[in-house]
Amino acid sequence: MLRALTLAALLAVSGSAVPAPVWAEPLTRVRIGATPGPHAQILEAVKPIAAKRGLDLQIIEFSDYVVPNEALSAGEIEANSFQNQPFLDNQKADRGYRITGVGLTVNFPLGIYSKRHRSFDAVPNGGTVAIQNDPTNGGRSLLLLQDKGVIKLAPGTGFKPTVADIVENPRRLRFIEVDAAQTPRALDDVDAAAVNTNYATPAGLKPSDALLKEEPKGPYVNMLAVREADQDKPWVKALVESYRTPETKAFVETTFGGAVLTSW
């Protein structure tokens, strides 16, 4: 009380006013889901950039490909960064999600790896190949095998062929479907396995060592996704702009050495 009176007396004598304190605007919280590995690592690099644009990114890691869209649809997070358009389209058709992509991010060329063989030609007739059990990524792996001349798929299967769509399999390969996150572990039990880069890198697999590798083309560029009701909100624009910066691009190129490709 005495201190307050003293300050008032000083102001009266000086005839001057003390400027009101200026408070910074609070950051807008954006909880964003990502799978472990490169997706989460990139978001960590984006976080300080986003803070300069007024966003407090809170990165939440999910260990599979199903829960991030469930959490987004339920309002448990505001955005996610882990999927491509064919995967989202499939999820929306199956589950009725009102989720939309708002900005392209990076591409992870899918690879087929082996702990037993140094080339795919060395995989024996009747050998076992693990692929992902979700329609988008499993189909993507089958398309890669077709592109490399290993199998042939029925015409008109689009981006989501299944094992049942294989019409030519001259090497009589046996396909085992497992959860995408488990494909690196499957390498101990199969001749080869298709592994998404975001699971390959944390498992110590180098994309340069893949027996077969997807070309950086097609619709498999990943994206930032939000609920449709939020897509025009200012924080969404700030999030996309924060991600697609020269700083993020330099981080990706330096950190992943070509295993992850930026879309801008």
pLDDT digits (tens, 9 = 90+) for 145-166: 999 999 999 999 988 899 999 9
Distance of CA 176 to the CA centre of its chain: 24
Q: Is residue 229 part of a domain?
A: yes
Task: List the structure tokens of 132.
Answer: 């992902």
Q: Residue 184 pLDDT more than 50?
A: yes
Q: What share of the chain is helix, strand, coil (3-state, %, to 5)?
A: 40, 25, 40
Of residues 138 and 20, more confidence is placed in: 138
What domain range is 42 assigned to? 28-108+219-262
Q: Is residue 11 part of a domain?
A: no
Confidence band for 198, pLDDT divided at 50, 70 and 90? confident
Q: Residue 12 pLDDT more than 90?
A: no
Residues, the chain, total? 264
Q: What percent of the chain has pLDDT over 70?
A: 89
Taking every pair of C-alpha atoms in the chain, what is the biggest distance, in angstroms? Answer: 97
Q: Is residue 152 part of a domain?
A: yes
Confidence band for 20, pLDDT divided at 50, 70 and 90? very low
Count up the domains in the chain and report the number.
2
Residue 208 sits in the same domain as residue 116? yes
pLDDT at 24: 55
Per-residue model confidence as pLDDT tens digits over 43-98: 999 999 999 999 999 999 999 899 999 999 999 999 999 999 999 999 999 999 99
Residue 102 sits in the same domain as residue 132? no
DSSP secondary structure code for residue 65 in this structure: S
Q: Report the C-alpha gap between 93 and 152 in whole angstroms.
A: 27
Q: In this structure, what CATH number is given to the domain that contains residue 191?
A: 3.40.190.10
Confidence band for 217, pLDDT divided at 50, 70 and 90? low
pLDDT at 219: 82
Q: Residue 174 class from Cβ within 10 Å (0-12 exposed, 13-18 middle, 19+ buried)?
A: middle
CB 173 within 8 A of CB 128: yes
Q: Is residue 136 part of a domain?
A: yes
Residue 90 sits in the same domain as residue 155? no
Residue 130 sits in the same domain as residue 199? yes
Q: Is residue 118 part of a domain?
A: yes
